[in-house]
Amino acid sequence: MIRALLCLFAMAIPLQAQEPVSPTGETIVAGLSQNLVSITTNFTGSEILIYGAIKREQPIPNDSDLEVIATIQGPSGPLTVRRKERRFGVWMNVDAVTISRAPSFYAIASSAPLAQALSETDNLRYQVTIPRAIRAIGTAAEAADAPVFLESLIRLRTESHDYVLDESSVKLLESTLFRADVALPANLTEGEYRVRLFITRNGVVIDKHEESITVNKDGLERWIYNLAHEHSLLYGLLALFLAVTAGWGASAAFGLLRR
């Protein structure tokens, strides 16, 4: 019996790395206020509402607190972080470190301070916190103080509100209903935004849920962007045509005014 259980447990471990097994039988049911964000000419950012409930067949366990963590992650890509130094009297970029993957946008909201809501082990496993969401491998070879570059990346992106850590902003009612409001800034990059929800007890993830938001340029923005990238020669000529017409038009219009 014990052996059979151990066997089952051993089989459960590789599974657990992918999907958490809820020991309390609690699972997430969740939705988003919108799955599509359109960037149009008057786009000034967007508010995403993540809402949901905890589904359970048993009474609420009261030996530990249930916490909810929500993350939104923008498209990732490689980055170069540069540092200025004084050379020959002027400040110029000297050292640089390549970050292999960093999200263009990352927001975390949680129902309690993260140190309390999430254990370091599960943070490593699910890559929840901002430093964990950035993959910086092999940076030590590029500069002696590579971690400083990573810290600066996080600091700069936090200052520009591209990386947001909003602890205790998830509203959780009766350990069952929750909602999180996340603001997407105006300078969004296009692509798939991954939304992840975790529920934890004692810092251990007991269930997770994923959704995605598509961010697209729309209307005139879409048209201009596509033209610039797919028919760049035509776009350049069109830009010229506009400039020449505007210049000629201005001269003609004011010529008429003067008469």
Partner 1 sequence: MQLYLPIAELSVNALALLGLGGIVGVLSGMFGVGGGFIITPLLFFMGIPPAVAVATGANLVVASSVSGVLAQLKRKAVDFRMGMTLMLGGLIGSGIGIWVFAWLTTLGQIDLFVQLSYVLFLGVVGAMMFKESLGALLRARKPGGPIRRSHVHYSVHKLPFKMKFRASGLYISVIPPMMAGAAVGFLSAIMGVGGGFIMVPVMIYLLGMPTKVVVGTSLLQIIFVSAFTTVMHAVSSQTVDMVLALLLIIGGVIGAQIGSKIGLMLRAEQLRILLALMVLAVCLRIGLGLLLTPDELYSIAPGRLP
Binding site for partner 1 (CB under 8 A): 39-45, 77-86, 89-93, 96, 98, 142, 149, 152-153, 155-157, 186-187, 189, 217, 220-221, 224-225, 228-229, 232-233, 235-240, 242-244, 246-252, 254
Residue 186: φ, ψ to 5°: -75, -25
Shortest reach from residue 86's CB to partner 1, in Å: 8
Closest to partner 1 by CB, 3 vs 258, is 258
- Report residue 136 CA to chain centroid gap: 16
CA atoms within 13 A on the CB side of 253: 6
Closest to partner 1 by CB, 53 vs 224, is 224
Closest to partner 1 by CB, 96 vs 124, is 96
Shortest reach from residue 66's CB to partner 1, in Å: 37
Reported as type and span, the H/E element at residue 217 is strand 204-217
Closest to partner 1 by CB, 19 vs 230, is 230
Residue partners of 176: CB distance under 8 A and separation at least 6: 53, 54, 60
Closest to partner 1 by CB, 62 vs 91, is 91
Neighbours of 140 (CB within 10 A): 12
Give the residues across from 101 on adjacent strands.
135
Shortest reach from residue 100's CB to partner 1, in Å: 8
Closest to partner 1 by CB, 35 vs 160, is 160
Closest to partner 1 by CB, 124 vs 240, is 240
Give the residues across from 215 on adjacent strands.
37, 191
Shortest reach from residue 57's CB to partner 1, in Å: 47
| Rounded CA separation 116/119 (Å) | 7
- Computed over its alpha carbons, how large is the radius of gyration of the chain? 25
Residue partners of 58: CB distance under 8 A and separation at least 6: 24, 25
Shortest reach from residue 232's CB to partner 1, in Å: 5
Shortest reach from residue 164's CB to partner 1, in Å: 17
**Contact (CB, 8 A) for 192 and 186:** no
CA atoms within 13 A on the CB side of 192: 5
